[in-house]
């Protein structure tokens, strides 16, 4: 009996489910990386193997110049999977999870996890310039949603499980449990409270545990001791250099976002179909990849690109012109890959571009002003955080993840400064992040902030803005017009019939009706078109008032002391939807949620 009570307890059950989601998300990360290894070895080396280190450059395979067709082969398979089984698997994944949370009650089709796993592993394994983090996020979120659909639960719990899967995927991939939790908070969770944060923390912890069992307890990159002095020893001009770096990389983030969607639009306008467009894009990727191998000895821009990040951090990549060239090439091949219809994430390309630009910046500044002490590894890490934070909008996630990856406290202060300026520059130049722009283009707007809005807790009587006028239905319109002309603002009018409220004329409707009836045959107030209403108690919170108006499809509420309307004398005032919107600083995006969900 006691055990049944524990299992039926909602918090306890949610904790168990969050644990399961976290473990599955961690296992999903392991399986997904194994799939990438299998497809990478098949496509590039012509052999079957599950062993593949993304931090090492791909060896030259047996195909010679025909390697340019490797991405084309992957494109055909990806297009087949996405087109026939799960169109949601196309692209970088995170926007689809956000869309499901805010616009589809957290419902994600189970097949998305399977198709996303295959399509993204093929895209990455065949050389597509995309990341593995976005797919893992979508895979974990899909499992959380599926579990939430299989088991009867409130919607907020299902949304929490979606966030558990997304955060768990990030945590397992980078060995960053706190970063995974912050990712869920910044981008996925629509509610920030103890009842949602505790399950996400459990899930990210479980996912990290599984990831460490498979990959070991070490960061994603082998980072040497950072030559960043303690904060108090950093020259003052160094902080100015970090600020400048942040501003530059904030601009780069805008270029990244714009390029991605510009290429997507370009491919959509091309003649042909999904197959021909994706094949064209990936053929160009294959050519660029081969040209780098031919001239510089490595493919460099293929796949997730962690080998280049590792080279930058270790100091083996230290030629500024080549680093800038790699940035331009990575930006181009990422736009070609995703714009033509691949499946994969945008996180890893952000790390690549941030690392090479940060490293090149440190080398150039050191030559011009050696006293600033900008070490290449430290500045590359800061560059990674800047591009990730500015492009995705997940500033806290980027900052904390880099700290978890480096485990060096001295990098945090300049990193925070640079990321703050990078994010500020991006928002100054462009409002949407790389995730939200995809949804904005669909007309689906995502709230930019999460807060306990005290405004929603105010009572209904606080929103009585306009004066109230009560008139019998047989009153002449001429008298009403004189009263309205003398009153500013125009009053809300109760039209009475034998002392009962027959109809309501809100202020804005009153002005419109009077102008329409100026030359018509209507002579009595009762002949005007009134508006239907609901009755609300004076002490009802705005949260409940809006819900009642939406539930009855009404834009007007009569406010009474006890929430009952026995006669017109009970009415204390009228609240319209316009009053709610214009009184104070009501969040309009939140209004949209009430309109959708009632």
Query: The tokens of 113 are what?
Result: 């996890």
Q: Average pLDDT in the 210-224 region? A: 81
The pLDDT of residue 110 is 84
- Whether the CB-CB separation of 166 and 145 falls below 8 Å is answered with no
The pLDDT of residue 61 is 81
Report the share of the chain in percent with pLDDT over 90: 33
Least reliable range by pLDDT among 43-57, 280-294, 417-431, 584-598: 584-598
The pLDDT of residue 592 is 42
Res 284 pLDDT > 70: yes
Looking from the CA of 282 toward its CB, the CA atoms found within 13 Å total: 31
Res 7 pLDDT > 50: no
Query: The tokens of 292 are what?
Result: 């780098």
Q: Average pLDDT in the 304-316 region? A: 89
Q: Which of 219, 143, 145, 131 is nearest to 175 (CA)?
A: 219
Res 520 pLDDT > 70: no
The pLDDT of residue 43 is 92
Looking from the CA of 17 toward its CB, the CA atoms found within 13 Å total: 28
- Whether the CB-CB separation of 130 and 342 falls below 8 Å is answered with yes
**Residue 117: pLDDT band by 50, 70, 90 thresholds?**
confident
Stated pTM of the model: 0.76
Using a 10 angstrom Cβ sphere, with 0-12 exposed, 13-18 middle and 19 or more buried, the burial of residue 146 is buried
Question: Which position has the token pair 């780069």?
Answer: 252
- Whether the CB-CB separation of 469 and 483 falls below 8 Å is answered with yes
Res 365 pLDDT > 60: yes
Res 227 pLDDT > 50: no
Res 287 pLDDT > 50: yes
At 131-164, the pLDDT tens digits run 888 888 888 999 999 998 888 888 888 999 999 9
Least reliable range by pLDDT among 149-153, 412-416, 500-504: 500-504
At 254-268, the pLDDT tens digits run 999 999 999 999 999
More confident residue, 219 or 125: 125
Domains, the chain, with CATH or none? 2-215 (1.10.3080.10), 231-440 (1.10.3080.10), 454-597 (3.10.580.10)
Q: Which of 528, 542, 412, 548 is nearest to 479 (CA)?
A: 528
Whole-angstrom distance, CA of residue 249 vs CA of residue 228: 20
- Whether the CB-CB separation of 173 and 133 falls below 8 Å is answered with yes
Least reliable range by pLDDT among 202-211, 251-260, 525-534: 525-534
Q: Which of 32, 130, 145 is nearest to 96 (CA)?
A: 145
Highest mean pLDDT among 56-60, 115-119, 287-291: 287-291
Query: The tokens of 146 are what?
Result: 């599926």
Q: Which residues contact 127 (CB under 8 A, 6 or more apart)?
A: 43, 44, 70, 71, 74, 282, 285, 286, 289, 299, 302, 303
More confident residue, 226 or 3: 226
Query: The tokens of 12 are what?
Result: 């306890």
The pLDDT of residue 501 is 83
Res 334 pLDDT > 90: yes
**Residue 594: pLDDT band by 50, 70, 90 thresholds?**
very low
The pLDDT of residue 252 is 96
- Whether the CB-CB separation of 25 and 168 falls below 8 Å is answered with yes
Residue 22, preceding peptide bond in cis (omega within 30° of 0): no
Res 5 pLDDT > 50: no
């Amino acid at each position: 009996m006691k055990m049944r009570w524990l299992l039926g307890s909602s918090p306890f059950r949610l904790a168990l489910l969050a644990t399961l989601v976290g473990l599955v998300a961690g296992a999903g990360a392991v399986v997904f990386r194994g799939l990438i290894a299998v497809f990478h070895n098949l496509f590039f080396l012509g052999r079957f193997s599950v062993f593949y280190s993304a931090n090492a450059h791909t060896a030259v395979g047996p195909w010679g110049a025909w390697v340019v067709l490797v991405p084309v082969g992957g494109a055909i398979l990806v297009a087949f999977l996405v087109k026939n089984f799960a169109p949601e698997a196309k692209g970088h994944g995170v926007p689809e999870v956000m869309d499901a949370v805010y616009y589809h009650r957290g419902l994600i089709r189970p097949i998305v996890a399977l198709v996303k796993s295959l399509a993204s592993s093929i895209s990455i394994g065949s050389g597509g310039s995309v990341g593995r983090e976005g797919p893992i996020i979508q895979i974990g979120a899909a499992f959380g949603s599926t579990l939430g659909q299989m088991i009867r639960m409130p919607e907020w719990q299902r949304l929490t499980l979606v966030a558990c899967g997304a955060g768990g995927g990030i945590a397992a991939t980078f060995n960053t449990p706190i970063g995974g939790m912050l990712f869920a908070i910044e981008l996925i969770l629509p509610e920030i409270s103890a009842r949602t944060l505790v399950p996400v923390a459990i899930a990210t912890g479980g996912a990290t545990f599984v990831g460490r069992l498979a990959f070991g307890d070490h960061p994603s990159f082998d980072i040497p001791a950072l030559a960043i002095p303690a904060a108090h020893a950093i020259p003052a001009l160094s902080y100015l250099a970090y600020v400048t770096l942040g501003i530059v990389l904030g601009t780069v983030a805008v270029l990244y976002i714009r390029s991605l969607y510009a290429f997507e639009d370009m491919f959509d306008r091309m003649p042909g179909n999904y197959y021909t467009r994706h094949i064209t894009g990936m053929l160009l990727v294959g050519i660029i990849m081969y040209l780098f191998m031919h001239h510089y000895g490595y493919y460099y821009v293929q796949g997730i690109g962690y080998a280049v990040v590792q080279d930058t951090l270790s100091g083996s990549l230290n030629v500024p012109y080549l680093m800038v060239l790699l940035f331009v090439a990575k930006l181009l091949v990422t736009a070609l890959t995703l714009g033509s219809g691949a499946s994969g994430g945008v996180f890893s390309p952000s790390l690549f571009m941030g690392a090479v630009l940060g490293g090149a910046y440190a080398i150039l500044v050191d030559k011009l002003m050696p006293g600033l002490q900008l070490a290449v590894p430290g500045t590359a890490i800061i560059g990674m955080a800047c591009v990730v934070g500015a492009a995705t909008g997940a500033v806290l996630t980027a900052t904390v993840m880099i700290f978890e990856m480096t485990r060096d406290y001295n990098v945090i202060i300049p990193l925070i400064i640079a990321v703050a300026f990078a994010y500020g520059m991006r928002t100054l130049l462009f409002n949407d992040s790389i995730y939200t722009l995809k949804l904005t283009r669909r007309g689906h707007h995502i709230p930019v902030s999460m807060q306990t809005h005290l405004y929603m807790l105010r009572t209904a009587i606080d929103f009585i803005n306009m004066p109230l006028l009560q008139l019998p239905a047989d009153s002449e319109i001429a008298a009403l017009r004189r009263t309205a002309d003398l009153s500013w603002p125009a009053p809300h009018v109760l039209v009475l019939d034998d002392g009962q409220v027959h109809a309501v004329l809100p202020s804005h409707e009153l002005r419109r009706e009077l102008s329409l009836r100026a030359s018509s045959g209507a002579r009595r107030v009762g002949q005007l078109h009134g508006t239907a209403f609901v009755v609300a108690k004076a002490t009802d919170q705005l949260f409940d008032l809006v819900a009642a108006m939406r539930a009855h499809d009404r834009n007007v509420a009569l406010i009474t002391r006890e929430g009952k309307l026995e006669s017109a004398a009970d009415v204390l005032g009228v609240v319209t939807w316009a009053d709610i919107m214009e009184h104070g600083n009501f969040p309009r995006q939140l209004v949209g949620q009430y309109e959708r969900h009632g």
